[in-house]
Structure 1
Amino acid sequence: MKVLSTLLSLRSARATLMVVAAFGACGLTLPANATRIKEVAAIQGVRSNQLTGYGLVVGLDGTGDQTTQMPYTKQALANYLEQMGISLPATGNAAQLQLKNVAAVIITGELPAFAQPGQSIDINVSSMGNAKSLKGGTLVATPLRGADGEIYALAQGNVVIAGAGAAAGGSKVQVNHLSAGRVPRGAQVERAVPSPINEGNSITLGLNQTDFQTADKVVRAINQRMGAGTAMALDGRTVQVNAPADPGSRVRMIAEIQEMPIETSKPAAKVVINARTGSIVLNQAVTLGPCAIAHGNLSITISTTPVISQPAPFSQGQTVVAQKSDIQVKQEAGKVINMPNSPQLTDVVRALNSLGATPQDLLAILQAIKAAGAMDAELEVI
């Protein structure tokens, strides 16, 4: 029995090794830096469309627009009432309306690709007047139009505000933003946007970024799986793929293409600088060459002291209050720091930290290093 169990164990181990070898021969094991085509490219013609509209939010608790300063709110409500068959007193002058629970808003939404009539989409509601809060309000029926001016959806629903606020006696407390909210599934699609995905004898893949190497890898992966000549790169961002005329077969082909793995290439060295916030982001391809940097701080201090001139008794003079300003300029001595060669991102970060500069100072230092030719990276200011 022991001999039989040993033989069975050896056979199972041998079968396991054969399965592993078969999977390796088929190329089912993906490299660590592999990604799918759907993550680097998109099908041209499969896109969303932006929708917008102007409407009214009603049912507010006295936090609506101040009608004395927002005349278009009164005009919009008067037009809405006339559409409902309600005429205002006298000549229907909208100036007679005194509104506290109504706010004029702008509605924005995104119509997904292949959206059909009857489907629901989420919308954003933002106050365009001086309403204090949209909390508890309801958006009345509002048509949403596309860039061509046609109506593609109809919006209506309760506005959800992720915030709270209270005011009393001149004091005010507010959490988050109260003049903008969201209506989940608040718009119903009324018209579909035609898609060119089933037109012609081919489909076009558009890469997210211009890269000839990535375009070549996409073509190689498609031709290897579906046959030579199926895909062809038109430029560094566009790949044309021959597709069947049958819509079902074309959809199946697109689904297979999007799941194909390709090896990602090393990105171009880039440093992104946000001049408003002082944020600096470097990718892994950024390297520094040897250079020397001198950095010093300049501080200016302005202090103002009130000076009171008091006249002598019985001199019929007036007391005069003046301001005395004292300005001091302090400049720290800058020392020259040797920056060694930094072939890796960790070395670059360590070298920049050795300067002891603030993020705002690093903005100017990085630009100077780039101008001196000591940094092999592209600077992008956002």
Structure 2
Amino acid sequence: MRNLVALFTVLMLLSGMLAPVAAAPFAVSRVKDVAKVQGVRSNQLVGYGLVVGLAGTGDSNKIQETIQSIANMLKTFGIVLTAGDISDLKMKNVAAAVVTAQLPPFAKPGDTIDITVSSIGDAKSLQGGTLIQTPLRAANGQVYAVAQGAVSTGGFAAGGRSGSQQKNFPTVGTTPNGAIVEQDVPMEFSNEGTIRLSLNQPDFTTASRISNAIDDRFGGISIARDPGTVEISIPGAYRNNVVGFVAAVEELAVAPDNIARVIVNERTGTVVMGGNVAIDEVAVAQGGLNIKITKTTDVSQPPPFSYGNTETTTNTELDVEEEAGSLIVLPATANVSDVVNSLNAVGATPRDIISILQAIKAAGALHADLQII
């Protein structure tokens, strides 16, 4: 704390500004931004395939899975290899890979989706390779898409006698629109004339506000079953237009509520806090200890004709100075940003503020969830 007079000036201004202070306002969002319709979800797809056409950066002969996969692929084209032929295969231009994708809800046959291709062997890079036709399966084992296409890694790896350099991860690549959907996933988002909304962050207050906003617009047709679910009865006028009804509900404005929370990142000195954090009146003392060590060299000359030797000596001086800790009285405030602003005004560093907030929480004066990451 650099200037005690400036600190008390700031605190006096705050004490006049903060009594009394209302709770911090919440941002208004759409229902679709804080909740989703139950039954509408994406599905994960995965497959195993081969990337060919690599410039000598593929798997080595130690990866037996790649060798067996090449033999199986050639067999489907009518080329049967003997055991000796298989052992002589050179795999430097081929790499085994796992292909993953997200099948979005309501995707129809013929639609295309993006894929991610990841090497599972000892390939050095997938740059310039092409993924050959790979079925993508869901958890139930059924094939929902087929992937194929050029792999883009967005990185490189280069090496020589003097060293090597690598940018990004050349063993993982993507193929935009690299998979074609073969079958859709049936989805039911309405059941017996009702739909359910799932909150992204379950909260009693937010669920109640969503239900109230729907009732104000359409009448008493909704109920908050629990902090994460709002059940809605579809009005008779929308029984034949459920999509239009869901669209109207998603556009309703609602002010979501959240638990008061302060996030502290000690590695970077970052403090992020919500606007509904409250602090009681509390006294804080913050001081510092400065230690200074200096070394000087002295030369000792012998008297004339004494046959002595010139000697050098090193002297060490230790200076310890402890700054006076200023006892600060922080007034009760409706949000922690005013406290941080007052501490910044008198020169407190981000790490000083982090230590002060931790101490205030330990004292029981910070009414918020303090999370350290």
TM over 0.5: yes
| Structure 2 residue corresponding to 1:219, chosen from 208, 211, 221 | 211
Cross-structure match for 1:25: none
| Structure 2 residue corresponding to 1:53, chosen from 47, 57, 74 | 47
Is the contact made by 2:290 and 2:322 (CA closer than 8 Å) also made in structure 1?
no
Structure 1 residues 99 and 226: alpha-carbon distance in aligned structure 2, compared to 1, 3 A threshold:
same
Structure 1 residues 370 and 84: alpha-carbon distance in aligned structure 2, compared to 1, 3 A threshold:
farther
- 1:14-59 deviation per Cα after TM superposition (whole angstroms, max 9, x unaligned): xxxxxxxxxxxxxxxxx99432211111100111111122221111
- 1:140-192 deviation per Cα after TM superposition (whole angstroms, max 9, x unaligned): 11111222222221111111122234333343233333121110011111221
Displacement of 1:117: 1.6
- 1:272-321 deviation per Cα after TM superposition (whole angstroms, max 9, x unaligned): 3457766542222234341435576899xxxxxxxxxxxxxxxxxxxxxx
Secondary structure of the corresponding residue to residue 223 of structure 1: helix
Counterpart residue type for residue 210 of structure 1: P
1-structure distance, mates of 2:149, 2:54: 14
After superposition, residues 74-223 of structure 1 pair within 5 angstroms as: 74-90=67-83, 93=86, 95-223=87-215
Does residue 236 of structure 1 match 2:230? Answer: no
Is the contact made by 2:284 and 2:356 (CA closer than 8 Å) also made in structure 1?
no
Q: How many residues align?
A: 318
Displacement of 1:138: 0.6
2-structure distance, mates of 1:59, 1:349: 58
2-structure distance, mates of 1:268, 1:33: 14
2-structure distance, mates of 1:334, 1:73: 67
Displacement of 1:113: 0.6
| TM-score normalised over the length of structure 2 | 0.74
Structure 1 residues 277 and 67: alpha-carbon distance in aligned structure 2, compared to 1, 3 A threshold:
farther
1-structure distance, mates of 2:129, 2:211: 53
Cross-structure match for 1:346: 337
1-structure distance, mates of 2:355, 2:233: 50
Counterpart residue type for residue 37 of structure 1: V
Counterpart residue type for residue 32 of structure 2: K
Is the contact made by 1:244 and 1:250 (CA closer than 8 Å) also made in structure 2?
no
- Report the aligned-residue RMSD: 3.2
Secondary structure of the corresponding residue to residue 80 of structure 1: helix
| TM-score normalised over the length of structure 1 | 0.72
Is the contact made by 2:52 and 2:130 (CA closer than 8 Å) also made in structure 1?
yes
Structure 2: gaps (5+ residues): 1-24, 292-318
Structure with bigger RCO (C-alpha 8 Å, 6+ apart): 2
Counterpart residue type for residue 83 of structure 1: T
Structure 1 residues 52 and 346: alpha-carbon distance in aligned structure 2, compared to 1, 3 A threshold:
same
- 1:181-224 deviation per Cα after TM superposition (whole angstroms, max 9, x unaligned): 11001111122112121432200011111222222222222222
Is the contact made by 1:292 and 1:336 (CA closer than 8 Å) also made in structure 2?
no
Is the contact made by 1:118 and 1:190 (CA closer than 8 Å) also made in structure 2?
yes
Structure 1 residues 293 and 130: alpha-carbon distance in aligned structure 2, compared to 1, 3 A threshold:
farther
Secondary structure of the corresponding residue to residue 197 of structure 1: coil
Does residue 283 of structure 1 match 2:274? Answer: yes
Counterpart residue type for residue 79 of structure 1: N
Counterpart residue type for residue 214 of structure 2: I
Is the contact made by 2:340 and 2:353 (CA closer than 8 Å) also made in structure 1?
no
Is the contact made by 1:202 and 1:244 (CA closer than 8 Å) also made in structure 2?
no
Cross-structure match for 1:62: 56
Is the contact made by 1:266 and 1:285 (CA closer than 8 Å) also made in structure 2?
no
- 1:328-381 deviation per Cα after TM superposition (whole angstroms, max 9, x unaligned): xx999586454523543432333665685665x876664443232121111335
Does residue 42 of structure 1 match 2:36? Answer: yes
1-structure distance, mates of 2:133, 2:321: 64
Cross-structure match for 1:71: 64
